[in-house]
Each structure stands twice: as C-alpha cells, then as structure tokens.
Amino acid sequence: MGSYIAHKRRKIKQMTEAAGSDEASAAGLRAQLLALQRAAERLELERAHLLKQARAIERRLQRQDPVVDRTSGRRRTAARAAGYALISATQGTRTLSISIERIPGTTPDGLWHVGVSLEGEEAEDYRVKDPLIPPSEDAILLMRTLAPRIAEEFVLGSATPGADENNSIRASMLAESYMSKTRSVFMLNENEKNEAKFEIVAEFEEIVLKRLKYFQSELNTIIENLLKTTFLNHKKCDAALHGIYAGLQDFSNGHMDSHMFQLTRKAEHKETN
C-alpha cells in the first residue's frame, strides 16, 4: 500500500505540474494575441489618421488651385491683347476697342477669345509678297503678329503652348515678303533665304520687346483694365494709350522734346542696320 500510495502521489504531482504549464502557455498566448491585436489597432488608427490628413491637404489644395488659376487664362489673354494694341499704337494706329470672352469648356488657364478693333483696319486678308505694298506695311504687320506671344512671355514669363502656331507661319511669310522687297535674294539658296528670314524675325522680335518694356506702364494699364472688365471702349483705350499717341504726335510734328520716340526709333534703327 505504501509503495502504491507513493507512486500515486508522484503521478498526481506530475499531472498537476503539466496542467499548470498548459495554463501558463495558454495565458501567454492570449497575452501575445492581445498585444498583436492592440498593435494592429494602433497601426489602423495611425493609417486612418494619415489618410485623414492627406484628404485634408488635398481639399485645401483644391480650394487654393482655383484661386491661383482662375485668372491665369484671362491674364494671359489680356497680356496678348494689350501687346497687340500697344504695338499698333507705336505704329500710329489707334485702338477703337478691345473685347475678351471666355470660350465655353476651356480650363481656367486656357486662353480666351480676343477681339481688337483698330482704326482704319479692315478685316481682309493681307496680300503677302504684293509688290504694290511697301515693305513698311510688311514690317508693321510682322510686329503685330509677333506682339501677342512676346507680350505674354514678357508679362508671365512663358507663352501658351500651341497658341501661336498660325502666327509663326504668318510671321515667316511676312518676313519673306519684307526680305524680297528690301534685299537682293535672287542669288541666295533656300538655306540662305531661311537664315535671312530667321534674322529678320529675330530683329523685329527685339524691337517689339523693347517697345513693350519702354511702355510697360501702358501695357500694365490695359491688362489690369481687362482683368476688371471684358470690354474696353474707344475712350478707355485712348486713356490707356494716351502717352504713346501724344509722343507719336510730337515726333511727327518734329518737336525736339519728344520724350520717347526719338530714343526708341534711334535704338531700333541701330539694331536693324
């Protein structure tokens, strides 16, 4: 009996230790699972917080973008129209009106439709290379053709891509017409003719840019007016360009105190010769 009881006690003791070990392992496993669950919950909360921040930033940028871009297309359009009117004024042609209108479906940075009415100008196709038209007329139209792009670049630092494709073709044709009336081109090959055209365009680009810089105050006045209203009548155009008209009148009358055109004409003459 004594041996049997001792054996039984040892057996019971061993079973008790095993049961305690299993319970400890189960408790440890539950603790690990709980810790992993809590870590996953923390990660999910952090992820949700980051997503919330990202959405908030995105909404803020979306609210800010229209404020930045809402007038960019209009400002670019105004700069182009102002450049055209200003260069026309320096050539002695008055601007009767300027109108701009947003094209339906365009993006905020897209160019608007422009209408510029000039005194004595008729909406007829210009006859390029017409020997009856003096080269000075080619030069006038060439500068007007270049003016919108150069004005946009001058005011905003860049020009709208693709906006001047037709103007570039027209400028090349006008330069060729001007060249045929002012230079002997019969002995030039095609490459030499093209180089001569590029030189002429580059020369007139410099003249246009100089005039825009010289009359930057008048240029900015027209732009700011077009940002406030979509139509400038004859009176408003005259008011914005009055200084140019007055200087041109002084120059044509031979006044020695002409404060602007003597300087610009001399500089331009030196650059083109």
Q: For the whole model, what pTM was predicted?
A: 0.67
62 and 139 share a domain? no
Q: How far apart are CA 150 and CA 137, in angstroms?
A: 20
Q: What is the pLDDT of residues 75-86, one digit of tens each?
A: 999 999 999 999
254 and 134 share a domain? yes
Structural domain count, the chain: 2
User: In percent, how much of the chain has pLDDT > 90?
Assistant: 48
Q: Which domain holds residue 6?
A: 1-69
106 and 237 share a domain? yes
61 and 86 share a domain? no
Q: What is the pLDDT of residues 27-67, one digit of tens each?
A: 778 888 888 888 888 888 888 878 887 777 766 655 544 44
Count of CB atoms within 10 A of residue 78's CB? Answer: 28
Q: Which of 69, 96, 129 represents a domain boundary (last residue)?
A: 69
Tell me, what's the pLDDT at 68? 39
Q: How far apart are CA 42 and CA 53, in angstroms?
A: 16
pLDDT reading at 155 higher than 80: yes
153 and 224 share a domain? yes
Q: Which of 43, 69, 95 represents a domain boundary (last residue)?
A: 69
Mean pLDDT of 213-229: 96
Return mean pLDDT, the chain: 81
pLDDT reading at 70 higher than 90: no
265 and 171 share a domain? yes
Q: Which of 48, 69, 90 represents a domain boundary (last residue)?
A: 69
Q: How far apart are CA 90 and CA 268, in angstroms?
A: 13
DSSP annotation of 113: E
98 and 9 share a domain? no
